[in-house]
Amino acid sequence: MPRFAANLSMLFTEVPFLDRFERAAQAGFEAVEFLFPYAHTVEEIKERLDATGLQIVLHNLPAGDWDAGERGIACDPQRVDEFRAGVAKAVSYAHALGVPQLNCLAGKAPAGVDAAVLRRTFVENLRFAAAALKMAKLRLLIEPINPFDIPGFYLNRTDQAIAILDEVGADNAFVQYDIYHAQRVEGELAATLQKNLARIAHVQLADNPGRNEPGTGEINYPFLFAHLDRIGYAGWVGCEYKPAQGTEAGLGWLEKLAGKKALAPA
Protein backbone atom coordinates (compact mmCIF):
# COMPACT_ATOMS: atom_id res chain seq x y z
CA MET A 1 0.00 0.00 0.00
CA PRO A 2 1.32 3.50 -0.78
CA ARG A 3 2.82 5.72 1.89
CA PHE A 4 0.66 8.77 2.60
CA ALA A 5 1.84 12.27 3.56
CA ALA A 6 -0.55 14.82 5.03
CA ASN A 7 -0.63 18.09 3.11
CA LEU A 8 -0.62 20.70 5.88
CA SER A 9 -1.80 23.47 3.56
CA MET A 10 -5.08 21.60 3.06
CA LEU A 11 -5.49 19.36 6.12
CA PHE A 12 -5.80 20.25 9.81
CA THR A 13 -6.55 23.87 8.91
CA GLU A 14 -8.72 24.00 12.03
CA VAL A 15 -5.50 25.01 13.84
CA PRO A 16 -2.58 27.34 12.96
CA PHE A 17 0.04 25.98 10.56
CA LEU A 18 2.71 25.09 13.10
CA ASP A 19 0.19 23.18 15.22
CA ARG A 20 -0.77 21.00 12.26
CA PHE A 21 2.39 18.93 12.57
CA GLU A 22 1.21 17.54 15.91
CA ARG A 23 -2.28 16.90 14.55
CA ALA A 24 -0.84 14.98 11.61
CA ALA A 25 1.33 12.83 13.86
CA GLN A 26 -1.60 12.16 16.19
CA ALA A 27 -3.63 11.02 13.19
CA GLY A 28 -1.00 8.44 12.31
CA PHE A 29 0.87 10.17 9.48
CA GLU A 30 4.63 9.70 9.33
CA ALA A 31 5.26 12.42 6.75
CA VAL A 32 3.90 15.79 5.68
CA GLU A 33 4.08 18.16 2.74
CA PHE A 34 2.80 21.69 2.21
CA LEU A 35 2.82 24.53 -0.28
CA PHE A 36 5.32 26.91 1.32
CA PRO A 37 7.39 27.12 4.51
CA TYR A 38 8.55 30.70 4.03
CA ALA A 39 6.19 32.45 6.45
CA HIS A 40 8.02 30.65 9.26
CA THR A 41 11.65 30.28 10.20
CA VAL A 42 13.55 27.06 9.71
CA GLU A 43 13.95 26.85 13.48
CA GLU A 44 10.18 27.07 14.09
CA ILE A 45 9.46 24.27 11.65
CA LYS A 46 12.37 22.10 12.77
CA GLU A 47 11.15 22.31 16.35
CA ARG A 48 7.84 20.78 15.25
CA LEU A 49 9.60 18.06 13.25
CA ASP A 50 11.80 17.14 16.18
CA ALA A 51 8.80 17.03 18.52
CA THR A 52 6.71 14.79 16.28
CA GLY A 53 9.24 12.68 14.40
CA LEU A 54 7.62 13.62 11.10
CA GLN A 55 9.53 14.10 7.87
CA ILE A 56 8.76 16.65 5.17
CA VAL A 57 8.62 15.08 1.72
CA LEU A 58 7.83 18.13 -0.42
CA HIS A 59 7.28 21.84 -0.59
CA ASN A 60 7.18 24.36 -3.44
CA LEU A 61 9.58 26.96 -4.72
CA PRO A 62 8.39 30.51 -4.00
CA ALA A 63 5.49 31.23 -6.34
CA GLY A 64 4.93 34.98 -6.32
CA ASP A 65 2.16 36.69 -4.36
CA TRP A 66 -0.09 33.74 -3.50
CA ASP A 67 -2.60 35.82 -1.55
CA ALA A 68 -3.03 38.10 -4.58
CA GLY A 69 -3.83 35.12 -6.80
CA GLU A 70 -0.44 34.40 -8.33
CA ARG A 71 0.23 30.69 -8.78
CA GLY A 72 3.87 30.63 -9.79
CA ILE A 73 6.22 32.80 -11.84
CA ALA A 74 8.38 30.28 -13.70
CA CYS A 75 6.93 31.03 -17.15
CA ASP A 76 6.95 34.82 -16.75
CA PRO A 77 9.80 36.47 -18.69
CA GLN A 78 9.56 39.59 -16.48
CA ARG A 79 10.18 37.64 -13.24
CA VAL A 80 13.33 35.64 -14.01
CA ASP A 81 15.52 37.34 -11.38
CA GLU A 82 12.82 36.86 -8.75
CA PHE A 83 12.43 33.21 -9.74
CA ARG A 84 16.16 32.53 -9.44
CA ALA A 85 16.36 34.20 -6.05
CA GLY A 86 13.48 32.00 -4.94
CA VAL A 87 15.37 28.88 -5.95
CA ALA A 88 18.20 29.75 -3.57
CA LYS A 89 15.74 30.44 -0.75
CA ALA A 90 13.93 27.14 -1.31
CA VAL A 91 17.17 25.16 -1.36
CA SER A 92 18.22 26.68 1.95
CA TYR A 93 14.94 25.63 3.58
CA ALA A 94 15.03 22.17 2.03
CA HIS A 95 18.56 21.50 3.22
CA ALA A 96 17.85 22.62 6.75
CA LEU A 97 14.62 20.63 6.99
CA GLY A 98 15.71 17.47 5.17
CA VAL A 99 13.29 17.91 2.26
CA PRO A 100 14.33 15.76 -0.75
CA GLN A 101 12.40 17.48 -3.54
CA LEU A 102 10.94 20.84 -4.50
CA ASN A 103 7.98 21.53 -6.77
CA CYS A 104 8.09 24.36 -9.31
CA LEU A 105 4.71 25.87 -10.19
CA ALA A 106 4.73 27.15 -13.76
CA GLY A 107 2.23 29.90 -13.05
CA LYS A 108 -0.43 31.57 -15.15
CA ALA A 109 0.61 32.63 -18.62
CA PRO A 110 0.99 36.45 -18.62
CA ALA A 111 -1.37 38.12 -21.07
CA GLY A 112 0.07 39.15 -24.40
CA VAL A 113 3.27 37.11 -24.19
CA ASP A 114 4.09 34.95 -27.21
CA ALA A 115 3.78 31.19 -26.62
CA ALA A 116 7.37 30.61 -27.74
CA VAL A 117 8.62 33.14 -25.19
CA LEU A 118 6.61 31.51 -22.41
CA ARG A 119 8.03 28.08 -23.19
CA ARG A 120 11.58 29.34 -23.53
CA THR A 121 11.33 31.18 -20.22
CA PHE A 122 9.92 28.15 -18.45
CA VAL A 123 12.52 25.78 -19.90
CA GLU A 124 15.43 28.10 -19.09
CA ASN A 125 14.17 28.65 -15.55
CA LEU A 126 13.80 24.90 -15.08
CA ARG A 127 17.35 24.32 -16.34
CA PHE A 128 18.62 26.87 -13.83
CA ALA A 129 16.60 25.38 -11.00
CA ALA A 130 17.53 21.79 -11.86
CA ALA A 131 21.22 22.67 -11.89
CA ALA A 132 20.99 24.43 -8.53
CA LEU A 133 19.01 21.56 -7.01
CA LYS A 134 21.39 18.95 -8.40
CA MET A 135 24.29 20.64 -6.65
CA ALA A 136 22.22 20.40 -3.48
CA LYS A 137 21.32 16.72 -4.18
CA LEU A 138 17.61 17.56 -4.56
CA ARG A 139 14.97 16.61 -7.12
CA LEU A 140 13.00 19.23 -9.06
CA LEU A 141 9.34 18.59 -9.84
CA ILE A 142 6.84 20.26 -12.16
CA GLU A 143 3.09 19.82 -11.72
CA PRO A 144 0.36 19.92 -14.38
CA ILE A 145 -2.71 21.69 -12.96
CA ASN A 146 -6.17 21.72 -14.45
CA PRO A 147 -7.32 24.97 -16.08
CA PHE A 148 -10.78 24.81 -14.48
CA ASP A 149 -9.45 25.42 -10.97
CA ILE A 150 -6.72 27.81 -12.15
CA PRO A 151 -7.69 29.40 -15.48
CA GLY A 152 -4.66 30.33 -17.54
CA PHE A 153 -2.24 28.01 -15.76
CA TYR A 154 0.56 27.28 -18.19
CA LEU A 155 1.12 23.55 -17.56
CA ASN A 156 -1.97 21.33 -17.79
CA ARG A 157 -1.15 17.82 -19.07
CA THR A 158 1.24 14.99 -18.30
CA ASP A 159 2.47 14.70 -21.89
CA GLN A 160 3.10 18.45 -21.97
CA ALA A 161 5.14 18.22 -18.75
CA ILE A 162 7.22 15.33 -20.06
CA ALA A 163 7.93 17.11 -23.35
CA ILE A 164 9.15 20.14 -21.39
CA LEU A 165 11.32 17.96 -19.16
CA ASP A 166 12.79 16.32 -22.27
CA GLU A 167 13.76 19.79 -23.48
CA VAL A 168 15.20 20.73 -20.09
CA GLY A 169 17.33 17.61 -20.17
CA ALA A 170 18.02 17.33 -16.43
CA ASP A 171 18.24 13.90 -14.81
CA ASN A 172 16.96 15.22 -11.47
CA ALA A 173 13.75 16.75 -12.90
CA PHE A 174 10.47 14.83 -12.73
CA VAL A 175 6.69 15.13 -12.87
CA GLN A 176 4.54 15.65 -9.80
CA TYR A 177 1.40 13.73 -10.79
CA ASP A 178 -1.70 15.03 -9.05
CA ILE A 179 -4.51 12.51 -9.57
CA TYR A 180 -7.24 15.12 -9.08
CA HIS A 181 -5.85 17.53 -11.68
CA ALA A 182 -5.13 14.68 -14.10
CA GLN A 183 -8.66 13.32 -13.79
CA ARG A 184 -10.14 16.70 -14.65
CA VAL A 185 -7.92 17.23 -17.70
CA GLU A 186 -7.08 13.87 -19.21
CA GLY A 187 -8.37 10.84 -17.29
CA GLU A 188 -6.58 7.56 -18.14
CA LEU A 189 -5.08 7.62 -14.66
CA ALA A 190 -3.83 4.04 -14.37
CA ALA A 191 -2.39 3.88 -17.88
CA THR A 192 -0.70 7.28 -17.57
CA LEU A 193 0.87 6.39 -14.23
CA GLN A 194 2.18 3.10 -15.58
CA LYS A 195 3.46 4.53 -18.87
CA ASN A 196 5.30 7.39 -17.19
CA LEU A 197 6.30 5.80 -13.89
CA ALA A 198 10.00 6.47 -14.44
CA ARG A 199 9.27 10.17 -14.94
CA ILE A 200 7.01 10.57 -11.88
CA ALA A 201 8.67 11.29 -8.52
CA HIS A 202 5.63 12.29 -6.46
CA VAL A 203 1.89 11.63 -6.52
CA GLN A 204 -0.90 13.64 -4.90
CA LEU A 205 -4.57 12.83 -4.44
CA ALA A 206 -8.06 14.23 -4.04
CA ASP A 207 -11.39 12.98 -5.34
CA ASN A 208 -13.47 14.57 -8.08
CA PRO A 209 -15.79 16.45 -8.09
CA GLY A 210 -15.17 18.70 -5.11
CA ARG A 211 -11.51 17.95 -4.42
CA ASN A 212 -12.51 16.24 -1.20
CA GLU A 213 -11.14 13.08 0.42
CA PRO A 214 -10.98 9.75 -1.45
CA GLY A 215 -14.30 7.94 -1.49
CA THR A 216 -16.41 11.07 -1.98
CA GLY A 217 -16.36 11.12 -5.78
CA GLU A 218 -15.85 9.25 -9.01
CA ILE A 219 -12.23 8.09 -8.73
CA ASN A 220 -11.71 4.41 -7.89
CA TYR A 221 -9.04 4.88 -5.25
CA PRO A 222 -8.83 1.28 -3.97
CA PHE A 223 -7.96 0.23 -7.53
CA LEU A 224 -5.43 3.05 -7.94
CA PHE A 225 -3.71 2.32 -4.63
CA ALA A 226 -3.32 -1.35 -5.60
CA HIS A 227 -2.22 -0.27 -9.07
CA LEU A 228 0.54 1.94 -7.64
CA ASP A 229 1.82 -1.10 -5.76
CA ARG A 230 1.59 -3.32 -8.85
CA ILE A 231 3.62 -0.96 -11.03
CA GLY A 232 6.23 -0.42 -8.33
CA TYR A 233 5.67 3.20 -7.33
CA ALA A 234 7.94 3.75 -4.34
CA GLY A 235 7.35 7.43 -3.56
CA TRP A 236 4.93 9.18 -1.25
CA VAL A 237 1.31 10.06 -2.00
CA GLY A 238 0.47 13.54 -0.78
CA CYS A 239 -3.04 13.99 0.63
CA GLU A 240 -3.80 17.36 -0.92
CA TYR A 241 -7.56 17.48 -0.59
CA LYS A 242 -10.19 19.69 1.03
CA PRO A 243 -11.86 17.80 3.87
CA ALA A 244 -15.59 17.74 3.32
CA GLN A 245 -16.50 18.02 7.03
CA GLY A 246 -13.31 18.58 9.00
CA THR A 247 -9.98 16.82 8.74
CA GLU A 248 -10.27 14.18 11.47
CA ALA A 249 -13.89 13.45 10.59
CA GLY A 250 -12.86 12.59 7.05
CA LEU A 251 -9.84 10.38 7.75
CA GLY A 252 -11.88 7.18 7.71
CA TRP A 253 -10.91 6.72 4.06
CA LEU A 254 -7.41 5.71 5.15
CA GLU A 255 -8.73 2.49 6.71
CA LYS A 256 -11.70 1.91 4.42
CA LEU A 257 -9.94 2.47 1.10
CA ALA A 258 -6.25 2.09 1.88
CA GLY A 259 -6.16 -0.31 4.82
CA LYS A 260 -4.32 2.13 7.08
CA LYS A 261 -5.90 2.92 10.42
CA ALA A 262 -5.94 6.60 11.35
CA LEU A 263 -5.36 7.26 15.02
CA ALA A 264 -7.79 9.27 17.10
CA PRO A 265 -6.54 12.74 18.07
CA ALA A 266 -5.16 13.00 21.59
| Distance from C-alpha of 248 to C-alpha of 213, rounded to nearest angstrom | 11
**How far is Cα 178 from Cα 158, in angstroms, rounded to an integer?**
10
Whole-angstrom distance, CA of residue 202 vs CA of residue 197: 10
From the candidates 33, 213, 240, 248, which is the catalytic residue? 240
Q: Residue 67's closest CA among 34, 39, 109, 106?
A: 39
Q: Are 6 and 17 in contact (CB under 8 A)?
A: no
The residue type found at 73 is I
The one catalytic residue in 33, 143, 213, 248 is: 143
The question of whether 143 is a catalytic residue gets the answer: yes
Q: For 213, list phi and psi in degrees, rounded to 5.
A: -65, 155
Q: Which residues are CB-contacts of 220 (< 8 A; sequence separation ≥ 6)?
A: none
What is the dihedral sign for C-alpha 29, 217, 143, 172?
positive
What separation in angstroms does the CA of 42 have from each of 47, 50, 82, 90? 9, 12, 21, 11
47 is a catalytic site residue: no
Beta-bridge partner residues of 102: 59, 140
Catalytic residue positions, numbered:
143, 240
